[in-house]
Amino acid sequence: MLTLDVLTIPTDDYVGFTFFTGYMAMMAASVFFFFERGRVDGKWKTSLLVSGLITFIAAVHYYYMRDYYLSTGENPTALRYIDWTLTVPLMCVEFYLLTVVAGAKRSLMWKLIFASVWMLVFGYIGEAFNPEGGSTSHSVTYGILSTLGYIYILYAAWFGEVAQLAKNSESEVVRKGVKTLAWFVLVGWAIYPIGYMCMPGGWLNTAFGWGSENVDLFYNIADAINKIGFGLVVYNIAITESAKVKAPAA
């Protein structure tokens, strides 16, 4: 007789809950962004497409991460970093797409992509290749190297090329939107280091005993907030600017 194994979530498993919630929320956001592309002006369609791709890629990975977690109870580190290696550079591309009308060059896009990949590669080495039992020196070394990429993106968004281009933009909506995205990088992305420091050898793991369950919880919350939030900011810019174009002349 054929038996079917059903994965269940205990009522007190908040990590499993956030895996399911994150998966459904990001899939729903993808559908929304893809459908809304038809309502925006042509120059904003690519930005909204990228927003949809970010949440769609994340949703697909969460589908597999959810099952991996429920089957093993472990942090799906490799799957998570595969997701981030695709989605985080795309989030950086949004900065370029929003400021290209103000004169952004492709070199800006590639610098942001390089910084994001740098951040992720060293973060992955620090998290996935930490010696058994957890080495604090390994965690800190690769955490610092990863942070250098983050600092570059943060500086570009707040004071550097992205910030200056947004400041010179003729659109107040774009200026405010880019500033909002900069806040996401400053506050929203700051949740990820908290998860990183919960792994064996991390400061929070060593000091408070926080483990893999905290890693997944922080990462899941951060992903949903940042990826969907990024997309909604881009959507607001696109729909607002498109309305100006479609509005009849007085």
Q: How far is CA 200 from CA 124, 125, 247, in A?
A: 14, 13, 57
pTM for the complete prediction? 0.90
Instruction: Write the single-letter amino acid at 116.
Output: S
Q: Decide if pLDDT at 8 tops 70.
A: no
The mean per-residue pLDDT over the stretch 23-48 comes to 96
Sequence letter at residue 153: I
- CATH code of residue 147: 1.20.1070.10
**pLDDT of res. 100:** 92
Q: Which of 82-91, 123-132, 202-211 has the highest mean pLDDT?
A: 82-91
3 has pLDDT over 60: no
d(CA 150, CA 144): 10
Give CA–CA dist 192/230, Å, rounded: 16
Question: How high is the pLDDT of residue 111?
Answer: 98
How far is it, in rounded angstroms, from Cα 193 to Cα 215? Answer: 9
Q: What is the pLDDT of residue 216?
A: 84
Is residue 1 scored above 50 in pLDDT?
Answer: no
Decide if 6 is inside a domain: no
Higher pLDDT, 194 or 24: 24
Give a yes or no: residue 3 inside a domain: no
177 within a domain of the structure (yes/no): yes
Q: Answer yes or no: is 28 within a domain.
A: yes
Give the pLDDT of residue 7: 62
Distance CA 221, CA 188 (A): 9
Residue 148 lies in a domain: yes
- Nearest residue to 181 via CA among 67, 81, 96, 79: 96
Distance CA 91, CA 47 (A): 10
Helix axes of 212-223 and 42-72: crossing angle, nearest 10 degrees: 160
Please choose, from the candidates 190, 174, 171, 188, the residue with its C-alpha nearest in 3D space to the C-alpha of residue 229: 188
Count of positions (residues) in the chain: 250
Other CB atoms within 10 A of residue 47 CB: 23
Residue 116 covered by a domain = yes
Containing structural domain, residue 80: 14-243
Q: With a cut of 90, say whether residue 84 has pLDDT above it.
A: yes
Instruction: Specify the number of domains making up the chain.
Output: 1
Q: Which two tokens stand for residue 53?
A: 């791709």
Asked if residue 231 belongs to a domain, the reply is yes
Q: Is residue 4 part of a domain?
A: no
- What pLDDT, on the 0 to 100 scale, is given for residue 247? 59
